[in-house]
Structures are given as C-alpha cells and as structure tokens.
Amino acid sequence: MSGTAEVRALVAAALSFALAACATAPRPDCTGVYVIGDASDAAAIANGRHVMRSGPLPARHVPQSAPRGALEADGSYAGAHAFCSVPDAKAALADEQALGIAPPRRPLRIYQVAGSWADDVYELHPGEYRLRHAVQVVRAAD
C-alpha cells in the first residue's frame, strides 16, 4: 500500500471505531438537558427571542473570537457542554470558574434546552457530554 492509501485506511478504521463507540456509549437516564449560558439570555428569552446553543463546529467555522480554552486541540468546537441536571451544571460551572476556564466575574446561568438526552447529546469523552447539534434554549433553570 502507498503511504496515502495507508493513511486513508487508518482514518477509515478510526472513524468506524469512533462511530461504533458513539452508538454504544452509555447514556445517563436524564429527563432534561441543561447548559451554561450568559445571564443576559434570560431576558432575551423573556422577550421572545430565540437563543441557541451550538453543536460541533469544524475549526474553519469557529469564530476568531471564540475562547481558545473552549476548543479542541485541532481548533474545532465539540458543542456546548450538556448536563443531566441543574446541580450537575452548577457544579461544573463552579469548577470552570475555579480553574479560570469561565471568567469568575461574568454572570452565567443554567438553562434548559429543548430536546432530549438520547437525541441531542453525545459523549465526547467518558463522562463529558456535549450537544450533538444546535438546540434552542427554552428557559432559565436555576
């Protein structure tokens, strides 16, 4: 096999392994999906505006203004973090603020999004869940 053919075969094998892992990834039994968002989103929702949380974006579509700490090593965005409950989201927010990932002075809140855990969430790494695609924020949940 040529070098290019070997690389293609390895990529194809890795992709099929990743897809199989996603299909069989354990999912918590969740009745809602929660995300962290800017506190100003609550007013926008109250005024009837549609507020969305993003799913995955390839590196070429990630805005230059995106915080580098929110991106994967290749510059892509894996989708908004998804949580099974408000307490889980609050704990993650506290951890992110303590680690300096989320600015401590930025007002953030927990929101519920439309959709279901089974259809709209995937497991990126063990125990780390992300939105599979863009989903509408429906209400402040904290």
20 lies in a domain? no
**Predicted local distance difference test score (pLDDT) of residue 128:** 94
How many domains in the chain?
Answer: 1
User: Is 98 a member of any domain?
Assistant: yes
Supply the mean pLDDT for the chain. Answer: 82
Q: What mean pLDDT comes out for the span 112-129?
A: 95
pTM > 0.75: yes or no: yes
- Residue for token digits 């993650």? 92
Q: Is there a domain that residue 100 lies in?
A: yes
The phi and psi torsions of 116 (rounded to 5 degrees) equal: -125, 155
**Any domain includes 14:** no
In a domain, 34, yes or no: yes
Mean pLDDT for 29-48 is: 94
* In contact, 131 and 57? CB cutoff 8 Å: no
**Quick one: pLDDT band at residue 110, thresholds 50, 70, 90?**
very high
Q: Is residue 114 part of a domain?
A: yes
User: Which domain, by its residues, includes 35?
Assistant: 28-140
Is a pLDDT exceeding 90 seen at residue 20?
no
| Nearest to 61, CA basis, from 136, 122, 134 | 134
64 assigned to some structural domain = yes
Give residue for tokens 């354990």.
Answer: 26
Mean per-residue pLDDT for 14-24?
39
Categorize the per-residue pLDDT at 29 as very low, low, confident or very high, splitting at 50, 70 and 90. confident
Considering the domain boundaries, does residue 91 fall inside one? yes
* Pairwise CA distance, residues 25 & 27, whole Å: 6
